[in-house]
Amino acid sequence: MSTTPSPPSGNPLQPDESAVLNARSLRGLAHPVRVRMLGLLQESGPATATTLAQRLGLNTGATSYHLRQLAAYGFVVEDPERGSGRDRWWRAAHRNTRFDLSTVSPAGEDPGTAYLRAVAQTNAERMLRAIDEAPTLPPAWRSVGTLSDFSLQLSAEELQRLTTDLLDVVARYRRQPMNASDAPAGTVPVTVQLQAFPRPGVLGQDTGAAEADPGPRPRDHDCDHEAVRDI
C-alpha cells in the first residue's frame, strides 16, 4: 500500500507563483528533509534524486520518497525536457513559499508548527555550516556579514514596524533574476536570515500580558527554505 498521500482537492499552489501554505499543503512540507530539498531545487535549479541524495547525505530511496511527497502536494514537478531513460529530473513548482504565522494553532500541534520547526532547523544547520567554512573563505569575505542578536523592549506594533522595515531594507538588495550567468562580477549568493519574536517565557497564554490586536499586518511571514524568493 502506497504511503504517498493523494493530492489535496483544489490544490492551492499555482505553478511558478508563490506557494501560499495552508493546513492541507503544510502536511507535504512539514519535514526538515523536504524543506531542504525544496530549497535546493529553488536555489540551484532542477536535479535528479541521485544528485539530491549526494547533496543531502541521504540514500536515493529516501530522497525518492521525499520527492514523491513533495510532488503529491504540488511543490515539485518533473522536468521532462531533462529526463532521459531512468533519469527523472525534478524542479521546484514555485519560486518562493509564504506562510501566515497567525494561522499556527495555540496548541502547537498542527502542521504549521512542524513546518516552522523544520524551517528553523534548516536555517540553524546552514548557519553552522557557514561558521565551519568561515576560516577557509577569501580574506575579503571573512570580515563581512554578522551573527548577532539584540534584546529590545517593544510593543506589538513596534515589532511589526521593525519587521517591515528590515524586510524593506533586504528588498533593496534583491536582484532578479538570480541566475549565475546574469550575476554582476564580484557577487556570490548570500543568505540573510531574519528572526524577530517575543522572548520565550515572557508572554504566555496565562500571563494576561497579551496586547490588543495591532490590526492588519503589512505582509504575511515569508519562509525561505534556503530559497530565492520575492519580498
90-138 pLDDT, tens digit per residue, is 999 988 888 877 777 666 567 788 888 888 888 999 899 999 999 999 9
Choice between 157 and 22, residue whose per-residue pLDDT is larger: 157
Looking at every residue in the chain, the average pLDDT score rounds to 78
Query: In 3-state terms, what secondary structure has residue 127?
Result: helix
pLDDT for res 202: 86
204-213 pLDDT, tens digit per residue, is 754 444 444 4
pLDDT for res 30: 80
Asked if residue 9 is part of any domain, the answer here is: no
pLDDT for res 210: 43
Q: Rounded mean pLDDT of 21-37? A: 86
Asked if residue 22 is part of any domain, the answer here is: yes
Asked if residue 181 is part of any domain, the answer here is: no
Choice between 142 and 215, residue whose per-residue pLDDT is larger: 142
Residue 54 confidence class, pLDDT cut points 50, 70, 90: very high
pLDDT for res 109: 64
pLDDT for res 21: 84
Distance (Å, whole) CA 202 – CA 207:
8
pLDDT for res 85: 64
Asked if residue 183 is part of any domain, the answer here is: no
Q: Report residue 222 CA to chain centroid gap.
A: 8
Asked if residue 116 is part of any domain, the answer here is: yes
Task: Check pLDDT > 50 for residue 25.
Answer: yes
Distance (Å, whole) CA 211 – CA 101:
17
Asked if residue 65 is part of any domain, the answer here is: yes
Task: Check pLDDT > 80 for residue 32.
Answer: yes
Other beta carbons within 10 angstroms of residue 183's beta carbon come to 13
Q: What is the CATH number of the domain that holds 146?
A: 1.10.10.10
pLDDT for res 84: 65
DSSP strand pairing (222-223 vs 89-92) = unpaired
- The CA distances from residue 95 to 7, 36, 69, 159, in Å, are 20, 14, 18, 27
Give all strands (DSSP E) within 9-144, no chain letters: 19-20, 47-48, 76-78, 89-92, 97-98
What percentage of the chain exceeds 70 in pLDDT?
A: 74
Asked if residue 130 is part of any domain, the answer here is: yes
Which residues span the domain enclosing 113?
15-173+190-199+214-231
SS3 content of the chain, % helix, strand, coil (to 5): 40, 10, 50
Asked if residue 6 is part of any domain, the answer here is: no
Place of cell 514555485: 94
Is the CB of residue 35 less than 8 Å from the CB of residue 70? no
Which of these ranges, 50-59, 108-117, 127-136, 193-202, has the smallest mean pLDDT? 108-117
Number of structural domains, the chain? Answer: 1
